[in-house]
């Protein structure tokens, strides 16, 4: 983490609606903690990948993630979907 700042980004992707995942929220430090807490309260998986969060933090809220992150994001979504199937 640059400068010791913790960053968090929230992604959303609906296969029948979205071309690619998009950023729904982002924040640093206390806001990052709040984003993670809300996700956990709602049963949304939280993954700690600081490098990815740092890179995606530059994307404006509401915008699709850059194409260069499609691969890693697809892997994350695949993992999240496999968790949902186990429930």
Domains, the chain, ordered by start: 2-86 (3.40.1690.10)
Which pLDDT score, from 0 to 100, does residue 3 have? 56
Which pLDDT score, from 0 to 100, does residue 75 have? 93
Number of residues written out for the chain: 87
Pairing of strands 7-12, 22-28: antiparallel
Which pLDDT score, from 0 to 100, does residue 1 have? 45
3 CB-near residues (< 8 Å, 6+ apart): none
Q: What is the pLDDT along the chain (87 residues), one digit of tens a residue?
A: 445 789 999 999 998 999 999 999 999 999 999 999 999 999 999 999 999 999 999 999 999 999 999 999 999 989 888 887 776
């Amino acid at each position: 983490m640059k400068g010791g700042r913790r960053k968090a980004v929230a992604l959303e992707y609906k296969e029948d609606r979205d071309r690619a995942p998009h950023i729904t929220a982002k924040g640093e430090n206390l806001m990052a903690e709040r984003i993670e807490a809300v996700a956990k309260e709602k049963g949304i998986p939280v993954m700690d990948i600081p490098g990815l969060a740092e890179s995606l933090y530059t994307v404006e809220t509401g915008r699709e993630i850059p194409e260069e992150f499609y691969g890693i994001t697809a892997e994350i979504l695949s993992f999240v979907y496999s968790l949902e199937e186990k429930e």
